[in-house]
Amino acid sequence: MDDTSSVGIVNTQSFTFAESPNELPLECGRNFGPITLAYETYGKLSPAKDNAILILHALSGDAHAAGFNHPHERHPGWWDIMIGPGKAFDTSQYFVICSNVIGGCKGSTGPSSINPQTGKPYALSFPMVTIHDMVNAQRALIDHLGIDQLLCVVGGSMGGMQVLQWVVSYPERVRLAIPIATTSKLSSQSIAFNEVGRQAIQSDPHWKEGEFYGKPIPRRGLAIARMIGHITYLSEKSMHQKFGRKLQDKAEYGYDFRADFQVESYLRYKGDHFVDRFDANSYLYISKAMDYFDLAQPYGSIEQAFANVKAKFLVISFSSDWLFPSHQSKEIVSACRRVGAEAIYTEIQTDYGHDAFLLESEQLTSLITNFLTHGRKEAS
């Protein structure tokens, strides 16, 4: 708490909108509301309201990106290494916003939320949502905060998808864009991994077609889904360096189905820990939203999608990321340049795999600090 680079104690706030008769139109064809978004802010909005940065989270993230929600919290927000005084998103200069997505389970309206018409959780009566819907909801929040134009939108993985959707849907409202370790559409391999995770949840006997609230939750299925997902976030080299074939608390094989290897124990821990903080139905909905994302589809090509984009891009990928490999980031950069949009591209050499955007703070800080500094000077 005495760390001068920390934003310190922060409060998660909420914004409710889309109340009848002004529900939010969704891509699935339904109008939906009311909607609550949980969000946090760090730093101060300038008098000219020209220093706002919107942070967009990945599948399992939330609004708590930095600092601590209470003095006894053991771990800071999920991107604390990047947000705070003197960090990449320097809160002595910038007003940083992080919003939880619609469909989530950490304060935003999602399948675990109470349906005001029934007094019960939505469960599977919650509508299917898309990345586009998430961005439209965030736009309502930015309007509520009185910000006409964001200095920057930034995010990794699913957060990067939201960055791309922001600059396409609201080109006049974004000056700088930083999509990290992302893609303009999921590959069939990525969709396949998501589907296996969803099947693990739906096969759990406690899932009960999503109607498990107030009852035993589908812990085993959600834990397995997280284990599957977590494997895709790592690289083969990082797993070898961290675990190899080392045994867990034993000198020889147990010749049974308990966790012999450290990597087995690690994945089980990750799965069990995830269950305590995430809703199984939200996992289904958000992973499906990622599957549906295809930036080019409504326009015919990614170039046409970027045709009216005004933002300048810093696109970052990681050499060992096999979930969203570098060639997918290069496709984004090439499309930008073909339509005259300014795009800088950097591939960071790392063994961390897809998770590198949460870990490679030194290189990311250097790249992002320079990009923001130059981008802000050019606009002034």
**Confidence (pLDDT) at 251:** 82
pLDDT band at residue 2, thresholds of 50, 70 and 90?
low
Count the helices and strands in the chain (H runs, E runs).
Answer: 10, 12
Distance between CA atoms of 10 and 66, rounded to whole angstroms?
8
- What is the domain class of 191-286 according to CATH? mainly alpha
pLDDT band at residue 377, thresholds of 50, 70 and 90?
confident
Nearest CA to 315 out of 377, 374, 271, 357 is that of 357
- State yes or no: pLDDT of 250 exceeds 90: no
Amino acid found at 156: G
Least confident segment among 112-126, 256-270, 285-299: 256-270
Instruction: Say if residues 281 and 113 touch (Cβ distance below 8 Å).
Output: no
Instruction: Look at 252 and 351; give whichever has higher pLDDT.
Output: 351
Least confident segment among 213-222, 240-249, 265-274, 313-322: 240-249
Going by the DSSP 8-state scheme, the letter that residue 185 receives in this structure is B
CA-based R_g, the chain, Å = 21
Kindly state the helix (H) or strand (E) to which residue 174 belongs, with its residue range: strand 174-180
Q: CB burial class (10 A; 0-12, 13-18, 19+) of residue 136?
A: buried
Average pLDDT, the chain: 96
pLDDT in tens, 5-29: 899 999 999 999 999 999 999 999 9
pLDDT band at residue 379, thresholds of 50, 70 and 90?
low
Instruction: Say if residues 362 and 329 touch (Cβ distance below 8 Å).
Output: no
Going by the DSSP 8-state scheme, the letter that residue 108 receives in this structure is S
**Confidence (pLDDT) at 4:** 85
Instruction: Say if residues 329 and 316 touch (Cβ distance below 8 Å).
Output: yes
- State yes or no: pLDDT of 363 exceeds 80: yes
**Where are the domains positioned within the chain?**
13-186+293-379, 191-286
- Architecture of the domain made up of 13-186+293-379: 3-Layer(aba) Sandwich (3.40)
**Confidence (pLDDT) at 249:** 83
pLDDT in tens, 63-86: 999 999 999 898 999 999 999 999
**Confidence (pLDDT) at 254:** 87
Distance between CA atoms of 113 and 160, rounded to whole angstroms?
26
- State yes or no: pLDDT of 310 exceeds 70: yes
Q: Token pair 């981008």 is at which residue? A: 375
Distance between CA atoms of 204 and 220, rounded to whole angstroms?
7
Q: Which residues are catalytic?
A: 157, 321, 354
Distance between CA atoms of 151 and 147, rounded to whole angstroms?
10
Buried b (16+ CB within 10 A) or exposed e, 350-373: bbbbbbbbbebbeebbebbeebbe
Query: Above pLDDT 70, what percent of the chain?
Result: 99
pLDDT in tens, 142-157: 999 999 999 999 999 9
Common-topology check for domains 13-186+293-379 and 191-286: no
Considering the entire predicted model, what is its pTM? 0.96
What is Dmax (Cα atoms) for the chain? 67
Q: How large is the average pLDDT for residues 253-270? A: 91
- State yes or no: pLDDT of 1 exceeds 60: no
**Confidence (pLDDT) at 380:** 62
**Confidence (pLDDT) at 127:** 98
